[in-house]
Amino acid sequence: MPAPTASPRQDSAPHPVMRELLAAAWRFRSRVLAALALLLLAKVAVVAVPLALKAVIDALSRPEQVQSLPVLLLVGYAVLRFAGTLFNELRDLVFSRVTQNIVSGYAHRVFVHLHALSPRFHARRRTGGLLRDIDRGTNGVGFLLGAGLFTLVPTLVEFAMVLGIILLNYPAAFAGIMIATFAVYSVFTFIFTSRRTLHQRRVNRLDTNAKGRLADSLINYDNVKFFTGEVAEAQRLRHILNDWVDAMVRNQKALFILHVGQSLIIGLGVTAVMLLAGLAVVRGSLTVGDLVLINAYVIQVCLPLNTLGFVYREAKDAQTNAEQLLRLLNEQPEIVDAPQAPALQVKQGEVAFRNVSFHYEPERPILHDISFTIPPGKTVAVVGGSGSGKSTLARLLLRFYEVQQGAILIDGQDIRAITQESLRDAIGVVPQDTVLFNDDIAYNIGYGRRGASGTQIVAAANSAHVHRFIQALPAGYHTEVGERGVKLSGGERQRIAIARAILKNPPILIFDEATSALDSHSERAIEAELERISRDRTTLIIAHRLSTIADADEILVMEHGRIVERGSHDALLGRQGIYAQMWQLQQREKQLAQSEAAAAGAPPAPSAGDS
């Protein structure tokens, strides 16, 4: 759907926002022009209604001259009233497609844009608050389109037409009072609405914080229960809501002053006009029909004027909401493809890290001068303590972040010079923390290959040793897994992730603690399957359990972002270094767990070194 391509700065005035929206509406200019034509017809009919009413009243006010009921005048009066409503409804119908296309265009564009933003942005966002900003922003865009074209323009057109009729037929004093009322009303509304906008922005900010807090607490439902944090969470949300209530009350006070002031100005204007008209009727210079006409026009102008004040207030609120949406669109992705970047050409699948250094924050370096090569069809495993930087290698290979120094090459091609889509298409990932879509199992496995058949999905599930479990479920492959896959155990989610990677069938694989959530029996079965699918594929394994990577062609041991040891499993054990110490420690933990299980008469429990 079409949407503007530029976004205003945070401190931008409403004019750039409206310029963007009008530019977007101009893409549908035939419908816009048709809607404007219907709008003008509606206003002509509405302005003509008091004229017809005046003619009827004047005709009926002189019974000595009335030979018959003025049927044509009465029918004409009814037709004009109906025409005003009909043209307005047709206008809304014609313009509806314009508004909905532009609003959906913004929603679609912000969705695409969010997926283009870097993991750094998503790491600091709050999902609940972000969704609230998007919802308010798209609603604001729709309101601004309707308010700008079909409230401000019609009101000004109607006001100009009424003034013209008054000036042509009555003393200038009537028009002068109406102009003065309009001017004072407009200045008052502008000043006090601008002041109220500050309160509205604070309300929006607190509302976003409250929704973000609510979503974060519900996402962490288990943690809240683990640590009996219900009361603390409720108090934290209540504190935010109290601030929100205070801001809403201040906002309402500002709105009260605005409403009362607007009503007072309109009341004074109407009173002045009617006193002047009543005096003219008493003196005989105006007829009762003239009085009715002037009264109808004053009310007809003042009601839209009051509506105009409401629309202006709401438009300021909508502009504030639209600004937040456009600022979101103005967020720049950290990772962008080079102009005319080619797709990755995987010939053999060699992966090479060349003197790679990286940090998430400048004051906290993560990797220091890392160099290694994964030959085509070989497996390299990376082990090390928490925070050693091993998982960062996978993120850099997937180009979630850019290296600060050095380069990562696939078959000699710098991954910064190729498209991100082709790079990630060539890599299959089984993450440690598997998150599933809130859909059925078939959808989640099939996500590995768009358009995969049911037979292919079942074959992948068989390879991941999860088919039998799925068949045992009442709905089978159509079982809903819940938000983030919460209806399944960690091991079941991980096996679905493995099936998804098997289905993708990529030339390069990354296993990031791929069996960490599995029991010993399942782990051994799946290890054999992972070894089978990684055969003849370039594979990077990030592991903590050393028993899972003993057959790797090369093992890298990392500490504090540096490779401190490398070699095969046997070679590293022979060196009696860090790797050997880790192996011995995990073997002791395994033996201890087995002894405790035997003493308790239970099957051996999974251990750090074996499960």
Ramachandran class of 3: left when φ > 0, alpha when ψ lies in -120 to 50, beta otherwise: beta
Residue 569's pLDDT band (cuts 50, 70, 90): very high
Query: What is the per-residue DSSP string for 531-592?
Result: HHHHTTSEEEEE-S-GGGSTT-SEEEEEETTEEEEEE-HHHHHHHTSHHHHHHHHHHHHHHH
Which has the closest alpha carbon to 393: 420, 422, 357, 418? 357
Class for domain 432-505, per CATH?
Answer: alpha beta
Kindly report, residue by residue over 10-68, the tens digit of the pLDDT.
443 445 666 777 777 778 888 888 888 888 888 788 777 777 777 777 666 665 555 55
| pLDDT above 50 for 4 | no
Q: How far is it, in rounded angstroms, from Cα 510 to Cα 464?
A: 16
Q: In the beta sheet, which residues pair with residue 364?
A: 361
Rounded CA-CA distance 577/569 in Å is 12
Is residue 427 classed as helix, strand or coil in its secondary structure? strand
Q: Which of 93-107, 135-149, 514-528 has the lowest mean pLDDT?
A: 514-528
Longest dimension (CA), the chain: 126
Give every CB contact of residue 174 below 8 A, 6+ residues apart in sequence.
166, 273, 276, 277, 294
| Distance separating alpha carbons of residues 220 and 16, to the nearest angstrom | 40
Which residues belong to CATH 1.20.1560.10 in the chain? 15-329
Query: What digits encode the pLDDT tens for the residues 500-525?
Result: 888 988 999 998 876 665 666 666 76
Residue type present at position 427: I
Q: Is 413 helix (H, G, I), strand (E, B) or coil?
A: strand
Q: How do residues 400-424 score in pLDDT, each as one tens digit?
A: 999 999 999 999 999 999 999 999 9
Instruction: Note the pTM of the prediction, 2 decimals.
Output: 0.67
| Helix H or strand E segment including 328 | helix 288-329
d(C-alpha 414, C-alpha 406), whole Å: 10
Residue holding tokens 């493809």? 337
Residues 6 or more apart whose Cβ sits within 8 Å of residue 18 = 144, 148
* Whether residue 434 has pLDDT greater than 70: yes
Integer Cα distance of 328 and 334 in angstroms:
14
Q: Which residues pair with 407 in a beta bridge?
A: 354
Q: Give the pLDDT score at 25.
A: 77
Superfamily covering domain 15-329:
ABC transporter type 1, transmembrane domain (1.20.1560.10)
- In the chain, which residues fall in CATH 3.40.50.300? 432-505
> CA separation (Å) from 411 to 352, 375, 396, 530?
8, 10, 16, 23
What's the CA gap between 350 and 356, in Å, rounded?
16
Three-class secondary structure of residue 484 per DSSP:
strand
β-pairing verdict for 405-410 and 351-361: antiparallel
